[in-house]
Structure formats: C-alpha cells, structure tokens
Amino acid sequence: MSNHTSAPCAAVELLEQARAAVIDRHGKYGPPVEHFSRTVGMVNAAFAGILTRPLTPSDWALIMLIDKVARHMGTARTTDTPIDLAGYAACLAECEAAEGSPPPAVVMGPPQ
C-alpha cells in the first residue's frame, strides 16, 4: 500500500505551471520555431563574420536554456527558473520536431 497522498507533488505543479507558460507564450509570441527563427535571423546577420554556420531555432532554444542556468547561478536567481527551464526544454523539443532533427542519442558510460 502506498503512503502517497492525492495532492500533486512539486514536480507535477512545476510542469503544470510550465505548460501554462508555454500556452501563454504561444499566444503572445507564436510558435517557438517562428519566434526563434526571427531571433536567430537577426543574430546570424549581426554575427555573420564570426559564425561557422547559421544558428537554428533549436540552437536558440539551447542558448535560452544556458542563459537561464547562468542567471540562476548568479545574482539574478528567481524562483521561476525551474518553470522557465521546463518551458524552454519544451520549446527545444518543438523546434527540433519542426526542423526534422531528432535529439541526439544519449549514451551513458565512462568518458572516452
């Protein structure tokens, strides 16, 4: 017999908040692949002489994940960071699906 209560755990609540944020942002900014495409278009133009290849919307989703972690590790730490991370992870999945690029396989084991 389980001693778990029927109340949602913190992880489920976080994911529900992230879901609500993703739905809200979709309405405000459009699908992430469209919004991130505009953003990387501007970044690619600004850094054309530096980049070895143009950034993709999936690249931008990864950059946003990295930026959230960097903020969380600094003085701009906020309680909504885990929600934002879940939301950006969802954006990454949506962008990769739209780009037709499956996520790389994760191989667990000792470093090579």
The answer as to whether 4 is a domain residue is: no
Tens of pLDDT, residue by residue over 70-83, are 988 988 788 888 99
pLDDT at 56: 93
pLDDT tens per residue, range 22-39: 999 889 888 999 989 999
- The continuous run of DSSP H or E covering 18 comes out as helix 10-29
Average pLDDT over residues 81-103: 89
The reply to whether 25 falls in a domain is yes
List the domain range (segments joined by +) for residue 15.
10-99
Residue 106 lies inside a defined structural domain of this protein? no
Kindly state whether residue 95 falls inside one of the protein's structural domains: yes
- Which amino acid would we find at residue 67? D
Distances (CA, A) of 47 to 6, 33, 40, 83: 51, 20, 10, 30
Q: How confident is the model at residue 45 (pLDDT cuts 50, 70, 90)?
A: very high
- Three-state SS string over 20-67 comes to HHHHHHHHHHCCHHHHHHHHHHHHHHHCCCCCCCCCCHHHHHHHHHHH
What's the average model confidence in pLDDT over 96-105?
77
- Residue at 107 is within a domain: no
pLDDT at 87 over 90: yes
> Is pLDDT larger for residue 25 or for residue 8?
25
**Residue 75, pLDDT score:** 86
- Can you give the pLDDT at residue 76? 73
Number of compact structural domains in the chain: 1
Residue 111: predicted pLDDT = 55
